A and B are shown apart, each in its own frame.
Chain A
Amino acid sequence: KNEVEQSPQNLTAQEGEFITINCSYSVGISALHWLQQHPGGGIVSLFMLSSGKKKHGRLIATINIQEKHSSLHITASHPRDSAVYICAVSGWDSNYQLIWGAGTKLIIKP
């Protein structure tokens, strides 16, 4: 079993729909990260969470430390949101390496 599990693996939705991507982890973490990888390959850090909820524009990320679960929500989805969304956790080792989920490929159709 992977230490970071994401679901769904693939998601196709219509423009305007509310999107939820889930992430569960099984290790102790110092923080959970949501990242976005565009088709060209570039990676953008969206959120870093250690508790509660964060919001940035149409993106909302929540984390439940007790349940070891996080969700990324996109409101009023748009075709430009199409990307791979990756959940990753950082531990407490000396280098704070990221443990990566497999990613969720999101396609928003106009």
Chain B
Amino acid sequence: GAVVSQHPSRVICKSGTSVKIECRSLDFQATTMFWYRQFPKQSLMLMATSNEGSKATYEQGVEKDKFLINHASLTLSTLTVTSAHPEDSSFYICSASPGRVNYGYTFGSGTRLTVV
């Protein structure tokens, strides 16, 4: 079945530094990638949607200059948290879709970010 590899699974970084999270579709072309954030005991919240080769579309309230999304190829999308602060500590997870209706979504395993 379809697999999305997400790395790293856990990362601890110092406040003010940047962290890059990578999602790679291993056996299909991820035309569309969704990036979510989840705070403890809360539902997943969509941060942004990216289509390969296009600029990402960010949800209201998500700072595009802070959360940089690159989707340069059909198999790789990255989320960079720039100038991280403790309040950015969260669980980040990607979901990839071939971009055609009813072809399903495959989720990465998630990245737990702790900013100290």
A-side residues, CB < 8 A to B, are: 30-31, 33, 35, 40-45, 48, 50, 86, 90, 92, 95-98, 100, 102-103
Contact = CB atoms under 8 A, between A and B. Distances in A.
A43 B105 CA distance: 11
Contacts of A103: 43
Given A41-B109, A41-B112, A103-B43, 10 more contacts: A30-B101, A41-B38, A41-B93, A42-B107, A45-B105, A50-B102, A86-B44, A92-B101, A95-B32, A95-B49
B110 A41 contact: yes
A45 B106 contact: yes
B105 A33 contact: yes
B109 to A, nearest CB: 5
Given A96-B32, A102-B43, A42 B109 contact: yes
Interface in B81-116: 91, 93, 95, 97, 99, 101-102, 104-107, 109-110, 112
Interface of B: 32, 34, 38, 43-44, 46, 49, 51, 57, 91, 93, 95, 97, 99, 101-102, 104-107, 109-110, 112
A31 B102 contact: yes
A100 B44 contact: yes
Given A41-B112, A42-B109, A44-B107, A96 B101 contact: yes
A106 B33 CA distance: 28
B93 to A, nearest CB: 6
A30 B43 contact: no
A97 to B, nearest CB: 6
Contacts of A33: 104-105
Instruction: Find the residue from A50, A92, A97 having the highest chain B CB count within 10 A.
Output: A97
Contacts of A97: 34, 46, 49
